[in-house]
């Protein structure tokens, strides 16, 4: 921060303090506590903690349920972020092309952004209810055709659809903005150069959209690791039979239902390390292929 | 690269363009000869870019016919029309190298890599960019970028080259250099060229023929010499020349045309008439029409003045340097009769041009 602009040394800090206070209490302090607790044995109802070294980690890492849940989480990360980004990209391309009704679609598509993930979960749970939802008539014709309460594949389909629906608005707007910042004359030049719409998509639009694609991938991946909680909690509670028990939900159950605070904190620390590693990989490796030139 | 044999003429027949029921080009017929350099000139909003885009196939035609060579093209895709285009903002692909930019059309067309490389090199050499093939557009200056755009256009050896105000983003000196380069480039490759601009200097210097457009209608389509010396109407007369031609509302009677009682010339016509006289043809003389110098600008090579006659009529005039005249002075001017242009006062069409 240049002191030439701010004569007073403390003024910049003073101006930034509201943000810093919020960040400290809601981000740095919890992160610190998670790591602190992961090296201590915590009493569930408070009252002191006992340093236990790596024992919590040994316990968590030797639990097969942790590894299953971590693997499930990584699968969810890949599938959830790619499906939601691809859907948003298709919609953004359609809106950018100026297809009929696209001004209306552009407006309507932003609405889900205003709905909390938990509400989305409840709504989709109702929509996909095997007895009352949209697929209920099929269940009457073919009994057992659709039941997300007992069939894990159906449960996942339901969760992915809810996730795509909730992720589209933000991703769509970012991608549409990126597409619209590509000058119209580039399309014209490419059209005269002989490139049809598909060729232009791969040669012109997607390469020039990489800055926006990169940022939505980073955000969607981070969101899929932690933001899936509300959907799981409202739609499946980790079921059926633990099939949708993602790490973020397992942490909640272990900590607040089973009162294993240390185990939950240790898994939280592990999850944070995974998020940090994935994000670092994206910035260090993937970003090299982003084309920022304009 | 000799594209002389490729050059194809362009025939526009009753070409129309309508946006939301508003006619932009109500119906335009023109014949652009093979190998000719045509400049479409007009004020902004006159439809000149629309016309170019319709020839290119970037805008749908509302009616009429476009022939390139012997082919009717108004309903076929831009890429199949055998033309290339240079855009005002260069429209280079920012994520591709100069070589890839130039060669993109060849790549799309499936030209083998070896042939592609040599044709890219040839085109880049034509515009003196042979050493810049690995650069990105963002590493080039405005003039170099425009040359890349020109190389990209000529690499396909098109029958027709279209230019959409390609020099307006360049500074004055660069514009002058690029004008010379474009002119010699056209002589070398010989493709039929259509060049859209609002800059009359570009039009006068580059064109074999200038097509002057206003409100989507052709005002005059002629050589630069004739456009300047024989303007077809008051629009052309007032649009070409800097400062533009003086257009004076005058009255003709008893064999003479006069303005506010001052006799200008002998004439056979009678009634209201618009008289045109170019500023550089008005001479400051010892005796003649007395005028008051209202405003004077010294431009080094010449100076321009706005003068006011006793009856209130103002005139623009340009003099060679060396006239020791100051603003506010009274001087005498002579308007040579043989330099006058006469236009119909109601329609603006030329009556008799000397």
> Average pLDDT of B239-261?
85
Q: Who's near A77: CB < 8 A, 6+ residues apart?
A: A221, A224, A225, A278
- Which of A188, A192, A208 is nearest residue B94 as measured by Cβ atoms? A208
Cβ contacts of B85 on chain A, cutoff 8 Å: 188-189, 192
- List the Cα angle A116/A120/A126 in 5-degree steps: 150
Tell whether A284 is covered by a domain.
yes
Which of A259-273, B10-24, B43-57, B226-240 comes out lowest in average pLDDT?
Answer: A259-273
Q: Rounded distance, CA B54 to CA B151, Å?
A: 23
Of the pLDDT bands very low, low, confident and very high (cuts 50, 70, 90), residue B6 is low
Q: What is the pLDDT of residue B170?
A: 84
Tell whether A139 is covered by a domain.
yes
Whether residue B2 has pLDDT greater than 50? no
> Hey, is B290 helix, strand or coil?
strand
- Which of A186, A194, A208 is nearest residue B108 as measured by Cβ atoms? A194
Whether residue B283 has pLDDT greater than 90? no
Q: Hey, are the CB atoms on B95 and A186 less than 8 Å from each other? A: no
Q: Which residue has the higher pLDDT, A100 or B201?
A: B201
Tell whether A107 is covered by a domain.
yes
Q: What is the pLDDT of residue B3?
A: 41
> Hey, is B10 helix, strand or coil?
strand
Closest CA–CA distance from residue B58 to any residue of chain A (Å) = 7
CATH code of the domain made up of B4-237: 3.40.50.300
Of the pLDDT bands very low, low, confident and very high (cuts 50, 70, 90), residue B1 is very low
Q: Which residue has the higher pLDDT, A52 or B162?
A: B162
Whether residue A202 has pLDDT greater than 80? yes
Q: Rounded distance, CA B269 to CA B343, Å?
A: 11
Of the pLDDT bands very low, low, confident and very high (cuts 50, 70, 90), residue B354 is very low
Of the pLDDT bands very low, low, confident and very high (cuts 50, 70, 90), residue A45 is confident
User: Is the domain covering B238-353 a CATH 1.10.1060.10 domain?
Assistant: no
Q: What is the mean pLDDT of chain A?
A: 83
Which of A140-144, A197-201, B103-107, B161-165 comes out lowest in average pLDDT?
Answer: A140-144
Q: Rounded distance, CA B265 to CA B275, Å?
A: 10
Cβ contacts of B57 on chain A, cutoff 8 Å: 191-192
Whether residue A52 has pLDDT greater than 90? no
Q: What is the pLDDT of residue A1?
A: 47
Q: Who's near B315: CB < 8 A, 6+ residues apart?
A: B246, B248, B277, B279, B282, B291, B306, B307, B308, B309, B333
Interface check for A199 against chain B (CB to CB < 8 A): the answer is yes
- Provide the CATH number for the domain around residue A139: 1.10.3720.10
User: How many structural domains are present in chain A?
Assistant: 1
pLDDT in tens, B114-158: 999 999 998 998 888 888 899 999 899 888 998 899 999 989 888
Domain ranges of chain B: 4-237, 238-353
Q: Rounded distance, CA A167 to CA A157, Å?
A: 15
Tell whether A51 is covered by a domain.
no
pLDDT in tens, A249-265: 888 888 788 777 788 88
Whether residue A2 has pLDDT greater than 70? no
Cβ contacts of A188 on chain B, cutoff 8 Å: 56, 58, 78, 85, 87, 91
> Average pLDDT of B258-265?
80
Q: What is the mean pLDDT of chain B?
A: 87
Q: What is the pLDDT of residue B114?
A: 92
Whether residue A15 has pLDDT greater than 70? yes
Tell whether A117 is covered by a domain.
yes
Under 8 Å between Cβ of B319 and B302:
yes
Closest CA–CA distance from residue A285 to any residue of chain B (Å) = 19
Q: What is the pLDDT of residue B289?
A: 87
Closest CA–CA distance from residue B84 to any residue of chain A (Å) = 6
Tell whether A50 is covered by a domain.
no
How much of chain A exceeds pLDDT 70, in percent? 95
Interface check for B238 against chain A (CB to CB < 8 A): the answer is no
> Average pLDDT of B308-322?
83
Closest residue in A to B109 (Cα–Cα): A194
> Average pLDDT of A163-174?
86
- Name the most confidently modeled range: A138-142, A220-224, B46-50, B210-214: B210-214
- The tokens for B339 are 């330099």
Q: What is the pLDDT of residue B353?
A: 45
> Average pLDDT of B234-252?
89
Q: Hey, are the CB atoms on A193 and B95 less than 8 Å from each other? A: no
For residue B177, how many other CB atoms are within 10 A of its CB? Answer: 12
* Buried b or exposed e, range B183-210, using 16+ CB within 10 angstroms: eebbeebbbbbbbbbbbbebbbebbebb
Interface check for A206 against chain B (CB to CB < 8 A): the answer is no
Under 8 Å between Cβ of A232 and A246:
yes
Q: What radius of gyration, in Å, describes the C-alpha atoms of chain B? A: 24
Q: What is the pLDDT of residue B106?
A: 92
Interface check for B60 against chain A (CB to CB < 8 A): the answer is no
Of the pLDDT bands very low, low, confident and very high (cuts 50, 70, 90), residue A99 is low
Of the pLDDT bands very low, low, confident and very high (cuts 50, 70, 90), residue A3 is low
Of the pLDDT bands very low, low, confident and very high (cuts 50, 70, 90), residue B321 is low
Closest CA–CA distance from residue B142 to any residue of chain A (Å) = 14
Q: Which helix (H) or strand (E) holds A16?
A: helix A11-23
Closest residue in A to B155 (Cα–Cα): A193
Range of the domain at A100: 64-289
Q: Rounded distance, CA A199 to CA A44, Å?
A: 60
Tell whether A208 is covered by a domain.
yes
Q: Where are the beta strands (DSSP E) in A94-173?
A: none
In a mutagenesis test of the B interface, which of A178, A186, A194, A293 is the best target, namely the one with the most B β-carbons within 10 Å? A194
Side-by-side strand order, sheet with B314-320: B283-285, B330-334, B289-298, B302-309, B314-320
Tell whether A33 is covered by a domain.
no
């Amino acid at each position: 921060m240049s002191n030439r602009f701010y004569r007073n040394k403390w003024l910049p800090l003073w101006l930034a303090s509201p943000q810093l206070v919020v960040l400290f209490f809601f981000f740095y302090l919890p992160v610190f506590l998670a790591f602190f607790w992961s090296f201590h044995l915590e009493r569930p109802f408070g009252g002191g903690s006992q340093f236990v070294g790596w024992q919590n980690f040994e316990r968590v890492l030797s639990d097969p349920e942790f590894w299953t849940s971590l693997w499930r989480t990584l699968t969810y990360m890949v599938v959830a972020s790619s499906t939601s980004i691809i859907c948003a990209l298709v919609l953004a391309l359609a809106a950018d092309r100026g297809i009929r009704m696209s001004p209306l679609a552009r407006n309507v598509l932003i609405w889900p952004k205003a709905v909390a993930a938990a509400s989305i979960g409840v709504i989709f749970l109702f929509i996909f209810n095997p007895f009352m939802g949209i697929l209920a008539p099929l269940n009457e014709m073919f009994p057992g055709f659709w039941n997300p309460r007992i069939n894990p594949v159906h449960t996942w389909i339901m969760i992915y659809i809810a996730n795509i629906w909730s992720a589209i608005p933000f991703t769509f707007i970012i991608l549409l903005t990126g597409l619209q910042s590509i000058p119209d004359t580039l399309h014209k030049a490419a059209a005269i150069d002989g490139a049809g719409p598909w060729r232009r998509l791969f040669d012109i639009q997607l390469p020039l959209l990489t800055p926006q694609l990169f940022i939505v991938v980073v955000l969607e991946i981070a969101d899929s690791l932690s933001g899936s909680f509300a959907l799981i909690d409202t739609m499946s509670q980790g079921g059926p039979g633990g099939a949708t028990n993602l790490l973020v939900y397992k942490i909640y159950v272990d900590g607040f239902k089973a009162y294993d605070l240390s185990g939950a904190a240790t898994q939280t620390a592990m999850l944070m390390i995974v998020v940090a590693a994935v994000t670092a990989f994206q910035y260090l490796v993937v970003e090299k292929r982003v084309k920022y030139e304009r | 690269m000799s594209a002389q044999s490729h050059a194809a003429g362009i025939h526009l027949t009753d070409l129309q363009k309508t946006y939301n029921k508003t006619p932009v080009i109500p119906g335009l017929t023109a014949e652009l000869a093979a190998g000719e350099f045509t400049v479409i000139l007009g004020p902004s909003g006159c439809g000149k870019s629309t016309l170019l885009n319709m020839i290119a196939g970037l805008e749908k035609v509302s009616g009429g016919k476009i022939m390139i060579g012997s082919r009717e093209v108004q309903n076929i895709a831009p890429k199949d029309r055998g033309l290339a285009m240079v855009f005002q903002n260069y429209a280079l692909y920012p994520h591709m190298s100069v070589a890839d930019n130039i060669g993109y059309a060849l790549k799309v067309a499936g030209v083998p890599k070896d042939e592609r490389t040599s044709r890219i090199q040839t085109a880049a050499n034509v515009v003196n960019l042979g050493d810049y093939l690995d650069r990105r557009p963002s590493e080039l200056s405005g003039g170099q970028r425009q040359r890349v755009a020109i190389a990209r256009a000529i690499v396909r050896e098109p029958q027709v080259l279209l230019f959409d105000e390609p020099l307006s983003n360049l500074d004055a000196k660069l514009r002058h250099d690029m004008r010379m380069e474009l002119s010699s480039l056209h002589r070398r490759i010989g493709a039929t060229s259509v060049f859209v601009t609002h800059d009359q200097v570009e039009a006068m210097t580059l064109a074999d023929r200038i097509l002057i457009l206003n409100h989507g209608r052709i005002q005059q389509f002629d050589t630069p010499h004739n456009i300047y010396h024989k303007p077809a109407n008051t629009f052309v007369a007032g649009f070409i020349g800097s400062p533009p031609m003086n257009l004076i509302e005058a009255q003709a009677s008893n064999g003479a045309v006069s303005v506010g009682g001052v006799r200008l010339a002998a004439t056979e016509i009678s009634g209201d008439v618009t008289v045109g006289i170019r500023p550089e043809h008005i001479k400051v003389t010892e005796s003649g029409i007395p005028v008051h110098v209202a405003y004077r600008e010294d431009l080094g090579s010449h100076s321009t003045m706005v003068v006011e006659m006793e009856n209130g009529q103002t005139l623009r005039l340009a003099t060679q340097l060396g006239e020791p005249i100051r603003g506010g002075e009274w001087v005498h001017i002579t308007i040579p009769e043989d330099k006058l242009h006469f236009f119909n006062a109601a329609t603006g069409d030329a009556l008799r041009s000397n």
